[in-house]
Amino acid sequence: MGKTLMRSEVPIEQTWNLADLFATEEAWESELKAIESDIEMVTKYKGKLGESAVVLLDCLQAKDALQERVMRVMTYAHLRQSGDGTDPNNQANSARVGSLMSQVNASTSFIRSEILELDDQKIENYIEQEEGLKEYEKTLSDLLEMKPHKLSSDAEEVLAAFSEVMNAPYMTYERSKTSDMQFSSFTTDDGEEHPLTFNSFPNYEGSSDTELRRNAYDSFVATLEQYKNTYAATYATEVKKQVVEARLRNYDSVTDMLLHEQQVTKEMYHNQLDTIQTELAPHMRRYAKLKKRVLGLEQMKFSDLKAPLDPEFEPEITYEEASKLVLESLEVMGPEYMEIMKQGVHSRWVDRADNVGKRSGAFCSSPYGVHPYILMTWSDSMRNAFTLAHELGHAGHFRLAGRYQNISNTRPSRYFIEAPSTMNEMLLSQHILAKPNDDRMRRWVILQSLGTYYHNFVTHILEGELQRRVYDLADEGTPITAKLLCEQKKELLSQFWGDAVEIDDGAGLTWMRQPHYYMGLYPYTYSAGLTASTAAAQTIKEEGQPAVDRWISALKAGGTLKPLELMQLAGVDMSTPDPIKKAVAYVGTLVDELERSFE
């Protein structure tokens, strides 16, 4: 591992082009101030939404126009902060955007309140009278479903005014992780010292060197241990906030409130968590035992789970080579989709260098009316190609949705969000396997596919299981402490892995690694998306163009349909556990082939 660069030292071609959002920071500053004064373009409709269909339409369009501008300002500050969280200027600008968001949310909260005061029939009449309101039909319908859970107009405005404070747990977590958390370097028996950061740990985690892997893990969890009480208090605040809001809004539980927001039934939610944990565990235990045997380990530790099964075969690939490979794999999706993908890899949508203060992991941010932005850390590993394909899936989805829908209709339920990204990973796997490969390359691709399922069906589903437990405990009034979180995490890991993996106390700290806990019921949706993409990718392989057309139609639909209907449009019926069981069974076949390859 070499020296980690400062942000100013990173070659510009490895960074995203924020000038596509704002040419200069001064331009951003000017727009920030302009938005504050232009909020009046929306608030002038306060108290008038019941006057006519025209007034309602004008107000909704004015809100959309303001929201588009706010999103650009917010995204610029967020991306600067993600690129270097140690920069005080980035921290300050991020805080300023948070204040602006609070102001906008509070000032425009009357729209929701006034619409909820209108009679359902009156809204139906408005939609019939004013053609432009048909674009907002689902938005209005979704709002009306919230009627049993609405607060008074004054209460909604107060809650909206506190949005910056409400988002403080997530902000505190991210700020601490990128700016304050310092990991100690560690040494191996050969005397070499190895630097460690949040971003570099995944590389060590996947190392073929058992000593390097385990020492990195020990250093990593030792630092997590120092922060566990602070992070537990931060997360407990997030949970308590949700418990209070759920009660204020007359929901039976936090889970009911968060699922209502996703338009997902409890049955769909529990199907995902229960089916995968129950049916996948035996396959994953076989996988862990195979890994222990092949790697010659006396003990299969939690820190060994991501060790490569074929240590001497780790395909390397440059960003340029990976871009070409990914584009080839996605050609089946058609010219419109491909035009977006080519822009994505060639026009500096991707920030891929590692630098001090850079946020860990990978994400795609898609401001409406501008192209998406992708953050990742490139290390010339073929694994990075799959991460790139994944994030480009998000980019293609929101580029298409933004092209065909207004800003209010762009974003679908989180239940669908991870389907387009994992679809791209499936297509990349299929593309590589279709090439002439030797046995080792084929095995590597199968291992990579298993890595995707591990990420979504194991890591994220177990995060989802922890959330399920935490919300149930919080609803009962149980205090959420570091001790409780670590115990619950360690217990559910032990239940899933059985005797196949030794679960140490450090494994119980893994709830500290992901920001998803601050995003509502997000983790389990990764598995829902992968379930859908597994089924749809298989259909594309069998049917070809008709299946592709269905998939692209679902991407273009954005948020105009509820998640169950959206997946049905894509050709997948998630109303039963059947697609989940089939996806898990497919994982079983991958483990079968892997076992055969090592006989």
Alpha carbon distance 288, 416 (integer Å): 30
The answer to whether 88 and 158 are in contact (CB under 8 A) is no
Give residue for tokens 């921290």. 91
Greatest alpha-carbon pair distance for the chain in Å reads 78
The answer to whether 356 and 84 are in contact (CB under 8 A) is yes
The answer to whether 405 and 559 are in contact (CB under 8 A) is yes
The answer to whether 500 and 393 are in contact (CB under 8 A) is no
DSSP character for 409? G
Catalytic center residues = 391
Helices 120-129 and 137-144 pack at an angle, to 10 degrees, of 180
- Mean pLDDT of the residues in the chain: 94
Query: In 242-328, which ranges are E strands?
Result: none
For the segment 93-106, what is each residue's pLDDT rounded down to a tens digit? 999 999 999 899 99
Q: Is the pLDDT of residue 61 over 60?
A: yes
Quick one: pLDDT band at residue 22, thresholds 50, 70, 90?
very high
Q: What is the mean pLDDT of residues 492-513?
A: 97
Per-residue pLDDT, 1: 46
Helices (H), 39-146: 40-43, 53-83, 88-117, 120-129, 137-144
186 Rama class: left (phi>0) / alpha (psi -120 to 50) / beta: beta
Give residue for tokens 């490139």. 378
Q: What is the mean pLDDT of residues 382-388?
A: 93
- 542 contact partners, CB below 8 Å, separation of at least 6: none
Alpha carbon distance 106, 163 (integer Å): 8
Per-residue pLDDT, 310: 87
The answer to whether 149 and 260 are in contact (CB under 8 A) is yes
Alpha carbon distance 398, 405 (integer Å): 10
Tally of residues, the chain? 599
Alpha carbon distance 393, 444 (integer Å): 22
Q: Is the pLDDT of residue 114 over 80?
A: yes
Consecutive H or E run containing 238: helix 210-248
Write out the two tokens for 319. Answer: 């960003």
Number of Cβ atoms within 10 Å of the Cβ of 303: 23
**Which of 126, 123, 35, 115 lies closest to 72 in space, CA to CA?**
35
- 19 contact partners, CB below 8 Å, separation of at least 6: none
Instruction: Give the DSSP per-residue string, 513-537.
Output: S-GGGGSSS-HHHHHHHHHHHHHHH
Per-residue pLDDT, 353: 93
Tell whether domain 7-166 is in CATH 3.40.50.1820: no
Give residue for tokens 């796997």. 429
Give residue for tokens 């929701």. 112
Quick one: pLDDT band at residue 337, thresholds 50, 70, 90?
very high
Per-residue pLDDT, 2: 56
- 599 contact partners, CB below 8 Å, separation of at least 6: none
Q: What is the mean pLDDT of residues 406-434?
A: 94
At 5, phi and psi to the nearest 5? -75, 155
207 Rama class: left (phi>0) / alpha (psi -120 to 50) / beta: beta
Q: Is the pLDDT of residue 253 over 60?
A: yes
Quick one: pLDDT band at residue 591, thresholds 50, 70, 90?
very high
Distance of CA 352 to the CA centre of its chain: 18
Q: What percent of the chain has pLDDT over 90?
A: 86
Alpha carbon distance 7, 353 (integer Å): 9
